[in-house]
Amino acid sequence: MKRPDLDPETVAWTLGGLAVAGAIVGAAVVFLGLYNVSAKVGHFPGVGSVLHTTFRNSVDLRAMSVDDVPELTDEMAALGAKHFDAACADCHSAPGRGRTATMRAMSPLPPHITQAVGHWNPAELHWIVREGVKMSGMPHWPADRDEEVWPVVAFLTRVQEGMDGAAYTEMTGMEKTAARDFAYCTSCHGERGATDNPHIPRLDILSRAYMTEALSAYRRGARDSGIMEHAATEVTPAALAEYAERFAGFAPEGGSVNGADGDLVARGRALSRAEDSTRVPACAACHGPWPDQLDEAFPSLAGQNQSYLGQQLTLWRDGQRGGGRVRELMHLAAEELTDADIEALAAYYASLAPATLNETAEAE
Amino acid sequence: MRRRTWQRRGASLLLPGLLAGCSGVQSILAPAGTDAAFLSNLFWVMLAGAVVLWFFMNGLMVYVWRVNVGHMSSRKAEALIIGGGIVFPTVVIGVLLSVALNAMPDMRAEGTGTRLKVTGEQWWWRVEYWPEGAEAPIVSANEIVLPANSRSEIGLTADKVIHSFWVPALGGKTDMFPGRETRMSLEPLKPGTYRGQCTEFCGESHAWMAFNTVVLPQDEYDAWLDAQAEPAAAPASESAERGQAVFLSEGCGACHAVRGTAAAGKVGPDLTHLGARTSLAAGTLPMTQDALVRWVRDAKAVKPGAEMPAYDHLTEDELSDLAAYLEGLT
């Protein structure tokens, strides 16, 4: 068996051709935008683990010797904790706290600090905090001062030792820097749970039971909303129930809307009663106006913002609306709605005087 | 030998099953109405004729192949082929056809008594009674009540897909089409309860789409219809009262009507006199409290694809109160 001779000229042309083809493909990726930078899509399979291995080995190679680590005192850890709370907790959360929906949507996903500290030794932690990590969003230390990094490392070693939420709060001296207060809710939903902004639903008409369930669904990711999932994960579950109660305590104000499109409202009213409809169930049987006492698990719609109602009904109809324990009822109820039905129903319920579920009444 | 035993055992297992199909509430061989009786007679006559023909044809083959081999003149053979192959079947089929055609106008005769409209839904039956001169129907579901010895007119249609209406003990079957009305009439003769079944494949729970037909003497029927026109009975026990509150607060009225209450939904079956019916969920379950609880808690577990949502968020107490209320709607 004799190997075929390799003609140097053919080899050169082949290599040259491949190089040109590669350059064209590379240029297309860069200049035509062929590479998808979406954080949602993520990396190709395997790329993530290659990058992570590279990161670990790079840190191993470059970190100083453990022998050069100074003594990490409690005073240093106390300072480090305060700085961590101000600068780092926005992405890594903190001991005893959860991560917001937005943190969980980052790519690469910043690990919760209790996981991020891993088994790194103090020298390696120092290197990571000082240098940052390219292409991961992890910033480097903003100043060129090595010794300033040690307090943070001191804090991180305490996290490795299993610091809990209470110890963290005590150390930072900041009770609820991450958990937001009621003013956070009212900044969008209004001082008394009502707002003129058509994109923001009014809450004064809703019951405590319904809002607690809705907030818990947002928190669990069972109801889809980038805005409300973030908001609900910034607040503790206990506080969510408290805020729901406060909003439910406001008496709805305002009268029925005059000057609304009369025909549209009349059509919505007929639909809400399912008068002669074998297609759409009667909305009023759960949402009022209804002569008997209704289950507070159902939301009141009376006087709710029209565009919000239309948007939510469309989400229900299209099967994209999550919610609490009775959501299947609404999925089935909305299944057969047309765009015109949705428009009419939103106009009708928006035209009613704002009221809680069992106070909902027809316009005078 | 072994094989023979197996065959005998197989036959002895199979036979009772086959024979059971000949009697009972859903059999064309146990007719209880004029049309079914005619169809059943037609079946027996045709079966007898087919048996005679079978022996005759086999006898003829034996005669030609074994008894009279090669001794037939071409004249005789032609006469046999033309006589037995063309003339005889034409006469037999012609007679059967004329008997059937003759009977058809009677079977399609317009009903003179009760007028009903039945709509095939997914997977249940919407039933409307239109008494003489009525402006609005008396609405019911999943059960049909007919007077004996009177021809009832039945209008048939369907909601989304094709269904077919058949009560074997009372008459033939008629298809039901969305957007189109077909009709039939039935003249039951014997009071009793007869089972009907959807006989056109209509989706997941086609096999669970049945109903009972209750035939009553005319005077009992009239009294029954008067009672049907009445609003629902008030709850008779504390449990039923609590059940009514559950019914009216949990949104059941969005799809179901209980006349006399605010519940006026038309998407699902009318429940005004639910407890008086002989079956639940279109012939699927018996009308008992246990069955009602099971059905309300998770209808799809009983009947795949049913549009009734699961009310598994209700407590056991709420469910049994609700069942007590529904069973009391007689």
Residue A358 is given by DSSP the state: G
Q: Does A270 touch chain B (CB under 8 A)?
A: no
CA distance B128 to chain A (A): 14
- Give the per-residue pLDDT at A208: 95
- Give the per-residue pLDDT at A364: 65
- Give the per-residue pLDDT at B322: 97
- What confidence category does residue A204 fall into, taking pLDDT thresholds of 50, 70 and 90? very high
At the topology level, CATH places domain A262-359 in Cytochrome Bc1 Complex; Chain D, domain 2 (1.10.760)
- What confidence category does residue A125 fall into, taking pLDDT thresholds of 50, 70 and 90? very high
- Give the per-residue pLDDT at A56: 94
A178 or A189: which leads in pLDDT = A189
The model carries a pTM of 0.81
Taking the domains of chain B in order of start, what are their residue ranges? 16-71+108-217, 238-327
Query: Average per-residue pLDDT in chain A?
Result: 90
Cβ proximity of A352 and A361 under 8 Å: yes
Lowest mean pLDDT among A162-171, A294-303, B8-17, B136-145: B8-17
CA distance A219 to chain B (A): 20
A95 or A179: which leads in pLDDT = A95
- Give the per-residue pLDDT at B243: 96
Q: Does B52 touch chain A (CB under 8 A)?
A: no
Of A278, A282, A292, Cβ closest to residue B264: A282
Residue B282 has φ and ψ, to the nearest 5°, of 55, 60
- What confidence category does residue A243 fall into, taking pLDDT thresholds of 50, 70 and 90? very high
Share of chain A above pLDDT 70, in %: 96
Taking the domains of chain A in order of start, what are their residue ranges? 55-172, 182-249, 262-359
Q: Does A149 touch chain B (CB under 8 A)?
A: no
* Mutation for B interface: A213, A286, A327, most B CBs within 10 A: A286
Instruction: Tell me how many residue pairs between chain A and chain B have CB atoms under 8 A apart.
Output: 64
* Mutation for B interface: A278, A286, A325, A328, most B CBs within 10 A: A278
CATH no. for B238-327: 2.60.40.420
Residue B308 has φ and ψ, to the nearest 5°, of -65, 120
* Greatest C-alpha distance within chain B: 93
The sheet carrying B115-120 orders its strands as: B138-141, B125-129, B115-120, B152-158, B182-186
Q: Nearest CA to B313 among A125, A202, A295?
A: A295
- Give the per-residue pLDDT at A174: 67
Q: What digits encode the pLDDT tens for the residues A319-341? A: 989 888 888 899 999 999 999 99
Contacts of B126 in chain A (CB under 8 A): 278
Q: Do A281 and B255 touch (CB under 8 A)?
A: yes
CA distance A99 to chain B (A): 30
At the topology level, CATH places domain A55-172 in Cytochrome Bc1 Complex; Chain D, domain 2 (1.10.760)
pLDDT at A69 over 50: yes
- Give the per-residue pLDDT at B1: 42
CATH architecture entry for B16-71+108-217 = Sandwich (2.60)
Q: Do B266 and A325 touch (CB under 8 A)?
A: no
- Give the per-residue pLDDT at B6: 53
- What confidence category does residue A259 fall into, taking pLDDT thresholds of 50, 70 and 90? low
Mean per-residue pLDDT pooled into runs of 10, chain B (330 residues): 52 54 79 92 89 89 84 84 88 88 85 93 95 92 96 95 96 95 95 96 95 96 95 94 96 95 94 95 95 96 93 95 95
**Rounded to 5°, angle at Cα B291 from B285 and B292:** 110
- Give the per-residue pLDDT at A235: 87
- Give the per-residue pLDDT at B195: 95
Of A277, A293, A295, Cβ closest to residue B266: A277
ipTM for the assembly: 0.80
CATH no. for A182-249: 1.10.760.10
Of B248, B267, B313, Cβ closest to residue A274: B267
